[in-house]
Amino acid sequence: MEVKVISGDITKVKVDAAIVNLFEGVEHPGGATRAVDQALGGTISRLIGEGEIKGKLSEVTLIHTMGKMEPERVVVAGLGKQDKLTYDSIRGVMAATCRFLRKVGAKRVATVVHGAGAGGLDVEKAVQALTEGTILGLYTFRKHVTKEPEHGEIEELLIVEWDESKVPSLESSVRRGRVLAESTNFARDMINEPANYMTPSDMAEVAREVAADGGLEFNVLEREEMGKLEMGALLGVAQGSKQPPKLIVMGYRGGDPEASPLGLIGKGLTFDSGGISIKPSEGMDEMKGDMAGGAAVIAAMRAIAELRPRINVTGIVPATENLSGGAALKPGDVLKAMNGKTIEVVNTDAEGRLILADAICYARKLGLAPLIDVATLTGACRIALGDICTGALGNDQELVDRVIKSGEQVGEKIWQLPMYEEYKEQNKSEVADIKNTGGRYGGTITAAQFLAEFSEGTPWVHLDIAGPSFINKEQSYLIKGATGVAVRTLVNVALVLAGEQPE
């Protein structure tokens, strides 16, 4: 879909549908909505008076113009209560409205900038948000469906701004919103792929193509190289699968050559059966999405390559399967990670932290700092926070605060969990330096405490996306299935650290 900014009067733009808006409780529309109302002979005002249009958030009311103005249809989109309007509200409103218009066959759509008038929001941020919401909300994954879709797609969105002098800056906002949303959809595509189409080798090939298109540095460590680096934790997980493991490394250089690159690390379990500690069969098909953290990092690197911030960033993705083959890791085995720490494996289904341990060690070897890892790590986090919110833990409060704020700016909810020293006791082993799970209680925290053993003194934040990475019901601009969560947060962190996005 193409998104353009034009200057003019929305009543005079020849499109299949024009989108205007209304706040809840407003009886007499203003701005562009008033102009449309007047062109339609007061139809909107009458529908408000009759209670058909209430302005509730994401309410959609379709009106046929019958030749009274250039757009063939008008949609009045509800913005909800004026004092509660946010940029995320705009994303959701555009997603709901454009999905509705897609169903009625609209191809060319025009919209006003929601929230920039009476809503009091910054016009550039509002344009970025509505661009994101539209592209994210219209996402579909039909690669393996042979049946023709029931409807076509919206081909063009025109954002109508009456002040022509603002068009260039708004075009820049559209570009940023498009890059962020398309990269998030790129991650969604990777995560939604069946595991036989997204093996570790496939994941490495996708990353290779991203690097080639974006001019990024690229390298893949194979099993032999991992062995030389003594990555016993990663190799231990991989040994039950016939698919060779890959350690994917992508590098962007946009800042001072002497500056330490920001390190983004994503868990790339392309399928997780649980290994010998096998998972229940019900819902195991969703374990194709256990590489959502790795997909988020690859997609974030894609966006960073397009936006070109003045910062150095390196993305690392340890990719493997966790299967229960004859050579698979067994409960009670002891592994040695790259930094020499020994790990007692008490549960082979706590494998994500094992592959991340070696990836974090490798990131430190490369001199990356700070570090942010993203992983569908624990069911405990999904129990604690549901599918709405990501859990955050780390060893540097300033960095944790920055990541949470960056998520808030792009509409991704993140909640900090504590890292009290007492939780370390649960990870103590009698036969090794540490064991790979601390039991049921405080599972998200003890998993993070495990990772902290390998980040050591490097500023580090862990994002547990087990809940919001994959949803079973549509939520605003998030479609059922993979959400691509954390892509926009990671990119925003890079922009903040580069000084190109206010904190």
What pLDDT does 294 receive? Answer: 98
Residue environment code for 315-333, b if the CB has 16+ CB neighbours within 10 A, otherwise e? bbbbbbbbbbeeebbeeeb
CATH number of the domain at 193-497, please? Answer: 3.40.630.10
In this prediction, residue 128 carries a pLDDT of: 97
| 8-state DSSP, 246 | E
| Residue 337 pLDDT | 98
Look up tokens 């060319």; give the residue: 108
Report pLDDT for 117.
Answer: 82
pLDDT of residue 499: 95
Catalytic pick among 56, 68, 208, 279 = 279
Annotation marks residue 424 as catalytic = no
Alpha helix (H) residue ranges in 395-442: 397-410
Active-site residue, 279 included: yes
User: Given 302, 353, 364, 488, which residue is catalytic?
Assistant: 353
With contact defined as beta carbons under 8 Å apart, do 323 and 276 qualify? no
Task: Give the ranges where 392-460 is alpha helix by DSSP (H).
Answer: 397-410, 443-455
Residues 6+ apart with CB under 8 A from 411: 86, 87, 88, 91, 129, 488
Q: Are 155 and 108 in contact (CB under 8 A)?
A: yes
- The tokens for 392 are 């955050």
Q: Which tokens is 69 given?
A: 């103005």
What angle do helix axes 167-192 and 123-137 make, rounded to 10 degrees? 30
- pTM, entire model: 0.97
Taking the CA atoms of residue 75, residue 131, residue 479 and residue 150 in that order, the dihedral angle to the nearest 10 degrees is 50
**Could you tell me which residues are beta bridge partners of residue 393?**
462
111 neighbors 495 (Cβ within 8 angstroms): no
* Nearest C-alpha neighbor of 270 from the set 205, 361, 215: 205
Angle of helix 200-214 relative to helix 292-307, nearest 10 degrees, comes to 10
Sign of CA dihedral 253, 258, 264, 269: positive
Tens of each residue's pLDDT in the chain, 503 residues? 999 999 999 999 999 999 999 999 999 999 999 999 999 999 999 999 999 999 999 999 999 999 999 999 999 999 999 999 999 999 999 999 999 999 999 999 999 999 988 889 999 999 999 999 999 999 999 999 999 998 899 999 999 998 999 999 999 999 999 999 999 999 999 999 999 999 999 999 999 999 999 999 999 999 999 999 999 999 999 999 999 999 999 999 999 999 999 999 999 999 999 999 999 999 999 999 999 999 999 999 999 999 999 999 999 999 999 999 999 999 999 999 999 999 999 999 999 999 999 999 999 999 999 999 999 999 999 999 999 999 999 999 999 999 999 999 999 999 999 999 999 999 999 999 999 999 999 999 999 999 999 999 999 999 999 999 999 999 999 999 999 999 999 999 999 999 998 87
> What is the Cα–Cα distance from 477 to 480, expressed in whole angstroms?
10
Reported residue count of the chain is 503
Domain ranges of the chain: 2-180, 193-497
Q: What is the CATH number of domain 2-180?
A: 3.40.220.10
Interatomic CA distance for residues 167 and 179, integer angstroms: 18
Torsion of CA 357, 361, 363, 366, to 10 degrees: -170
| CA distance linking residue 204 with residue 190, whole number of Å | 11
